[in-house]
Structure 1
């Protein structure tokens, strides 16, 4: 039996009425909510169930003091104001977990370990997917999001991942958005401009 589509409220919450947020109310996000967020996003599919994304939830002033110097000047205030900054990173040795997460292929670990280019491409592609799942899952849980690039990856990696195994990909601010700072939604390209049916 086919699944029924979600209702308009759900579709509006996740996509149609959702905006990138640049300012947040000072409403804290507790660890239980962050765990709930991960427990939802972890079900998003990745190739061979590889799950290469890693997350640092920066919630304290001490954590922010380590993160903010790596951000471009235009991103510092909004990151400081957000209750949570998420560093979405990738595990360059994600394949060490393959015997657990993909046991149906006994040589999966070696296939990546022996092919660094394939491992790097797989980690980047699937880790980025998982970061997108985080954004969607956050909206489903009633949080607002502000994804960001505009930071020095090398500085973030040196500060948070000094052993070199994890590499930062992008950042996501989380919280309850401040509506008065909302920007108008930018236009989206039409189907005919981006897609074809063959």
Structure 2
């Protein structure tokens, strides 16, 4: 059974796309990042919540501050990427819910205790949005290098001193460079991952 996307689009987004470890020095423009965001913001989340915040790290000074919190090879990779994004959860994202649900002004208080908002709704929905963002980077013809090997508590103190954002992923973005990709790891087959009840 065929998919609605043609084979070239399937390859661009999934089959041939891999995590990049090196990048060329070709810049990633603000216009490209805006086009990515303007596409992926439509990805579904629970109650259309949008807790993801993206901090673009462009200056050398900011990049060095970020790399101080990197583990192992993530530091050199980040220093050489044309653009790096810190993905974080806005812990006060619920304050924007009335804008998204003008017909239900009490929604921000009706469904979410502070603990549920911070530990469940925010984290789960921001993680969904991060996946959409990576696919959007690929849709722009760029490669993404998502990394969790960072001291995120340190990043929070360094970049989000007010405590209102919680970083959870760092992504290098650009055109892949020489030897950018490791051999692809195997994936589970359909019958290993899918069950019918």
Deviation at 1:91, TM superposition (A): 0.6
Matching residue of 1:117: 115
Aligned CA RMSD, in angstroms, stands at 1.3
Measure the CA separation in 2 of the matches of 1:170 and 1:102: 28
2:143 pairs with 1:107: no
Deviation at 1:179, TM superposition (A): 4.3
Question: Which 4+ residue blocks in structure 1 deviate beyond 6 angstroms?
Answer: none
**Structure 2: which 5+ runs fail to align?**
none
String of CA shifts for 1:100-140, please: whole Å, max 9, x gaps: 01223322111355x12221200000000111111000100
Structure 2 matches for 1:75-94, cutoff 5 A? 75-94=74-93
Measure the CA separation in 1 of the matches of 2:186 and 2:178: 19
SS of the residue 1:174 aligns to: strand
Measure the CA separation in 2 of the matches of 1:87 and 1:102: 28
Contact 1:89 1:170 in 2 (8 A): yes
Measure the CA separation in 1 of the matches of 2:121 and 2:45: 9
String of CA shifts for 1:145-196, please: whole Å, max 9, x gaps: 1110010011100011000000001111100011423211110011222220
Structure 2 matches for 1:1-198, cutoff 5 A? 5-112=4-111, 115-120=113-118, 121-198=120-197
String of CA shifts for 1:19-72, please: whole Å, max 9, x gaps: 110000111111111111111111111111110000001112111011100111
SS of the residue 1:188 aligns to: coil
TM (norm. structure 1) is 0.94
TM (norm. structure 2) is 0.94
**Structure 1: which 5+ runs fail to align?**
none
